[in-house]
Amino acid sequence: MAGPAAGEVVRTEEHTVRVVTLAAGLAHPWSLAFLPDGRMLVTERPGRLRFVRNGTLDPQPVDGVPPVHPFGQGGLMDVALHPRFAETGLVYLSYVARDATGYGTEVARGRLVGHRLENVRTIFRMQPKSGGGRHFGSRLVFDRAGYLYVTLGDRGEPERAQRLDDHAGKIIRLHDDGRVPDDNPFRDRPGARPEVYTYGNRNVQGAALHPRTGVLWAHEHGPQGGDEVNVIRPAVNYGWPVITYGVNYGIGTQIGEGTAKPGMAQPVYYWVPVSIAPSGMAFYDGDRFPRWRGDLFVGALAARCLVRLRLDGERVVREERLLRGTLGRIRDVRQGPDGYLYLLTDEPNGVVARLEPADR
């Protein structure tokens, strides 16, 4: 579908922006990645990987995507490029796979050649799999050393997040080929899954590297209230479901042991009493919006907006909600190589939208 369309102008605290629809007609788009030649790769939850170029959605999906089993909240989810993509051509995908025991998140990589992924290989399989349709995660982030982080949800079974012999409710860390790094914090602990980097995470659907420090930040869905932003460090227990600022759905009763416990991390920021349902996140360090430099942007599904967080080190000092009533459910947010912000909407007819400055 051809775009881009003329954009709606929206005033925010720091900038006036134009919201331009670049491409529409996407079935629940989940993630995007920017190719060096100017094209974008966009995942659709039902299992398709698409090209978008110059505001046009290629009608032919990319061939060679591994088998995806859309189920409940999951399907084809994140897409990421190898840090040396220009040399390797490698594309990474996270998606829901099925085996005899149920469903779970897996990660595969393949070489992008023309309109096809070749030499596709699965490099991670979540274990154990299970039958529920909730909380698959999943974001893929490479750090500056080339390690790959994969975020996972608790699969709707909260107690699994505290078990080190279970991938559910964890962030894992791998080499780019799926091998386990020698310095992973639980590699040598008997009974623990060696891929585990952090635990006690409910459902992480946003992760990004801080542009100055290179440290991984992530957010996760809380229950009723209690969505969190966290700084990710090895071996840390982020508390779910022992501690949380959220409450049980519908009845508002306490979950676990309260909001704090020794040995469990406190979030950098959290949303109460109403969840925003965060998905996707990006630090802004471009030149198009100079007064946003250093800010953290979070897509919001339930709140149907884009959240801007102003930071002072690892402390959030201000929140602004942008684009309320403009786009709807925002699934992903990315800074493009051109310095614009790009958004995906989680809709049956989802769009790729771009924020451009309208105050110059």
Q: Compute the average pLDDT of residues 255-284.
A: 97
For the stretch 208-247, pLDDT in tens is 999 999 999 999 999 999 999 999 999 999 999 999 999 9
Cβ-Cβ contacts under 8 Å for 100 (sequence gap 6 or more):
none
Give me the sign of the Cα torsion angle 298, 300, 306, 312.
Answer: negative
Residue 95 to residue 66: CA distance in whole angstroms: 9
189-214 core/surface letters (b: 16 or more CB in 10 A; e: else): eeebbbbbbbbbbbbbbbbbbbeeee
Cβ-Cβ contacts under 8 Å for 290 (sequence gap 6 or more):
none
pLDDT of residue 164: 98
pLDDT of residue 5: 52
248 φ/ψ angles, rounded to the nearest 5 degrees? -65, 140
For the stretch 166-210, pLDDT in tens is 999 999 999 999 999 999 999 999 999 999 999 999 999 999 999
Strand order in the sheet with 196-199: 140-142, 148-151, 170-174, 196-199
For the stretch 25-74, pLDDT in tens is 999 999 999 999 999 999 999 999 999 998 899 999 999 999 999 999 99
Active-site residue, from 15, 28, 82, 135: 135
Active-site annotation holds for 135: yes
290-294 long-range contacts, CB within 8 A, separation 24+: 291/14, 291/15, 292/14, 292/15, 294/212
Cβ-Cβ contacts under 8 Å for 346 (sequence gap 6 or more):
28, 29, 30, 279, 301, 328, 329, 330, 331
* Nearest in space to 28 (alpha carbons), one of 85, 76, 92, 96: 76
For the stretch 76-134, pLDDT in tens is 999 999 999 999 999 999 999 999 999 999 999 999 999 999 999 999 999 999 999 99
What percent of the chain has a predicted confidence (pLDDT) above 90? Answer: 95
Confidence of residue 10 (pLDDT cuts 50, 70, 90): very high
Domains of the chain: 8-357 (2.120.10.30)
pTM: 0.96
Answer yes or no: is pLDDT of 2 > 70: no
192 φ/ψ angles, rounded to the nearest 5 degrees? -90, 150
Confidence of residue 360 (pLDDT cuts 50, 70, 90): low
pLDDT of residue 132: 94
pLDDT of residue 1: 39
For the chain, give the mean pLDDT.
Answer: 96
pLDDT of residue 3: 42
Q: Compute the average pLDDT of residues 280-305.
A: 97
On the CB side of 33, CA atoms within 13 Å amount to 25
Apex 97 CA angle, 346 and 123, nearest 5:
105
* Nearest in space to 309 (alpha carbons), one of 318, 301, 300: 318
